Amino acid sequence: MAFFKRIGLFVLTNVLVMVTIGIVWSIVSHFLGLAGLNSYIPFLMAFCLVWGMGGAFISLLMSKWMTKMFHGVQIIDPQNQNPELRSLVNTVHELARRAKLPKMPEVGIYESPDVNAFATGPSKGNALVAVSTGLLQRMSKDEVEGVLGHEVAHIANGDMVTMTLIQGIVNAFAMFFSRILAGLVASNVDEKFREIVRFAVTILGDIAFTMLGSIVVNYYSRKREFRADIGGAKFASREKMIAALRKLQAAYELPIPADDTATGTLKISNRDKGGLAGLFMTHPRLEDRIDALQRARI
């Protein structure tokens, strides 16, 4: 489960969607006698582009529902009688007004000792900002505002849509290469086993190439964190944003119970990793983010 923590729920959902598409197409094409078209490169390229982008956008449309289910996020009514929860909603809505969002995002809370928050949703007018109970317990009001400013900046920047477009291109290449590989492998197998081998290699290739493509997706994810930090500084303040990052830095120096349900690509932070694992990280080092924010012109 630690691997899923690194790649994030969006990528995990996308892999499941792509594998489902691959299985359905393999079955349908076999019974309709269309399997031979997979060797026709122009057709294969068009098919992969359409279904690759389609899979990414299906993942995007499912993003709010998936994160609510995955984390058990409880949506907070703006008229909630609890003053702390009502203040949380009011803070998000005020930041959203500063960011000129077309519609106020939903605000939710989920049970987790992890000090974190995330934003998701298919559009600027249909978004969700959720915070963990651990964050509310361990951060001051100003630090929480800095975190919320960062998440609202993700929405204002349209990061989920941009990430979906990148993921769609990665999907298309993954589907294309997996089918080319499946054709090459199957051509060297006895004819009575050829379709079974083609099917198996295609599905395994979809998974492997999509996971490999997540390196590209996560590279963009790390870049967008710097932009969201700048946005958080604009909507809250530089001081509150830096204070929030420093608190995250301090919090992650302490042992935190394992959280296998972390939504890597959506959260404000993730643990620093080096080496090969660093290629799958969705967030840059907190030290680098603080340094960049201190030097940034806002």
Residue 56 burial by Cβ neighbours in a 10 Å radius (0-12, 13-18, 19+) = buried
The span from the CA of 173 to the CA of 158, in Å, is 24
Q: What is the DSSP letter of 267?
A: B
Coil/strand/helix, residue 72 = coil
Per the residue annotation, which of 106, 143, 145, 151 is the catalytic one?
151
* Catalytic residue list contains 94: no
Q: Does the annotation flag 143 for ligand binding?
A: no
Q: Say whether 154 counts as a known binding-site residue.
A: yes
| Residue in 60, 161, 144 with CA at minimum distance from that of residue 95 | 144
**Which among 57, 37, 40, 61 has a CA at the least distance from the CA of 167?**
57
Return phi, psi of residue 128, to 5°. Answer: -135, 135
Contact 52, 172 (CB under 8 A): yes
Annotated binding site: 150, 154, 225
Catalytic residues: 151
Annotated binding site for Zn(2+): 150, 154, 225
